[in-house]
Structure 1
Amino acid sequence: MTASLTKPLLILKVGSTHPHIAAELQDFEHWIQAGLQDPALPVTVVDPRAGQALPAQADIAGVVVTGSHSMVSDREPWSEAAAAWLRDAVAAEVPVLGICYGHQLLAHALGGKVGYHPQGIELGTVPVSLHDAAQDDPLFAGLPTQFDAQAAHRQSVRRLPDGATLLAGNDFEPHHAFRFGSRAWGVQFHPEFGEAATRAYLATLNDDAPEGAVRPTDVAASVLPRFASIVRG
């Protein structure tokens, strides 16, 4: 029997997809909630860009931080406030999963360095390889050592926070996943992106992707229900 939660999972909405993509496919928070594969899990969405107040860490069961078209290195006031809140959430051992911008924001909050990737954008379906440290990681243990994932980012974590554990990377992006402490993770890839979302981003950014370039990413997608299980646990 699945344990019930009295506290909600927070989706920290720090960005939105392009309006024409949202009109067809909905937005980041909807993709994440669907990807959790847990309809009974209570979820609340807070958008700090709109001035919405972040809850007390003691009042939530966990948090997923969305992607964004903003840049962490711009250090917008709402973003810096969210980073401080995330730092406190990690200290309180709230389960945290940062995705893309959320991954970078988490690293920034904990003392890492974020900036533009010197090789430009990583976009489309890309290979990701797990490191040995992932073998006994609560979120990644048991996954294949190599899998495909959807990616769309211009910035990345250029230096991990001191004390972080590197879990995954590839030739383009060495910091595709890390853990800090025992209950906070960042993933540069997008476990919430389906093939349709990736194709839409490729088309929007005028990237002429060859046939078959966008592939299913079921292993990467499994990170979200795995995180939901950690939150319930």
Structure 2
Amino acid sequence: MHKFLIVKVGGTFADYAAERGDFEDWTVRGMSLAESEWETVNPQNGANLPDPAGFAGAVITGSHDMVTDGTPWITDTAAWVRRAVDAGLPLLGICFGHQLMADALGGKADYHPDGVEIGTANITRTRASEEDPLFRDLPEVFPGHVTHSQTALKLPQGATLLATGSHDPHQSFRVGESAWGVQFHPEFDAPAIHEYISRREADLAASGRDVAAIRATVRDTPQSASLLKLFANYCRTR
């Protein structure tokens, strides 16, 4: 059985990672992977991305960077996404990964015109999601943790919109049979999103946001978290 690849395009705050692990750790825990079942590559630090054909599936993590930064590692990772999709490698892009996939495959990522989305949002499945192997058994509306300034403003041509939200109309999409993007964070738990709200509290308050109201949205998100295991199982059984 091939391993899973975690494409680490960013990490959480260094001190928080020292306490609770980093994005790749949260992701593989959610996927219920044994240590022998996965490996990670960090293109942000200059590592070369491997041949997509050698893996069961790949997850592209979130990042504190922005897709529109256009740095060489972002351009290289976007090119790898196109190769992976052409090769039929199952992909799951989370937040930055979702935006990068949309941009790389012909859509457009940029800053959301209504600003930051943060807290726990209601994610609403579309009619098309009823035929999707990851989303079809989820509730019609379910909670997902969100923290992002950029978004997939435009989806790639031919993409299937799977989920929407009141702030972000493109909460999830699929390209082809097995390349998914999710704007929300299935790997976050409630303590993690509380941490992100606290870290951004001053900026949120300065921009006129009601931080207490944002905190009040936070709740557990078992349905969105289940997508990680659903993706792993899909990759194993396809």
TM-score with structure 2 length normalisation?
0.93
Q: Does 1:105 align with 2:109?
A: no
1:133 to 128, 137, 147: 128
CA distance in 1, matches of 2:115, 2:31: 30
Partner of 2:225: 221
2:65 to 62, 67, 70: 70
CA distance in 1, matches of 2:99, 2:108: 8
**1:216 partner letter:** D
Q: Does 1:95 align with 2:63?
A: no
Greater alpha carbon shift after TM alignment, 141-150 vs 40-49:
40-49
Give 1:40 deviation, angstroms: 6.8
Q: Does 1:185 align with 2:188?
A: no
Q: Which runs of 5+ in 1 are unaligned?
A: none
Q: Does the Cα contact within 8 Å between 1:130 and 1:146 map onto a contact in 2?
A: yes
Q: Which runs of 5+ in 2 are unaligned?
A: 205-210
CA distance in 2, matches of 1:88, 1:170: 30
Q: Does the Cα contact within 8 Å between 1:9 and 1:41 map onto a contact in 2?
A: no
Give 1:104 deviation, angstroms: 0.5
- Aligned-residue identity in percent: 46
CA distance in 2, matches of 1:122, 1:202: 10
Following superposition of structure 1 onto structure 2, how do residues 1-233 of structure 1 map, counting pairs within 5 Å?
5=1, 7-39=2-34, 42-206=37-201, 207=204, 208-210=211-213, 212-233=216-237
SS in structure 1 of the partner of residue 217 of structure 2: coil
CA distance in 2, matches of 1:74, 1:202: 23
CA deviation profile, 1:132-165 (whole Å, cap 9, x unmatched): 0001101111110100000000000000000100
Higher helix share: 2
CA deviation profile, 1:148-188 (whole Å, cap 9, x unmatched): 00000000000000010000011110000000000100000
CA deviation profile, 1:57-98 (whole Å, cap 9, x unmatched): 111111000000100011110011001011010011100000
TM-score with structure 1 length normalisation?
0.95
**1:77 partner letter:** P
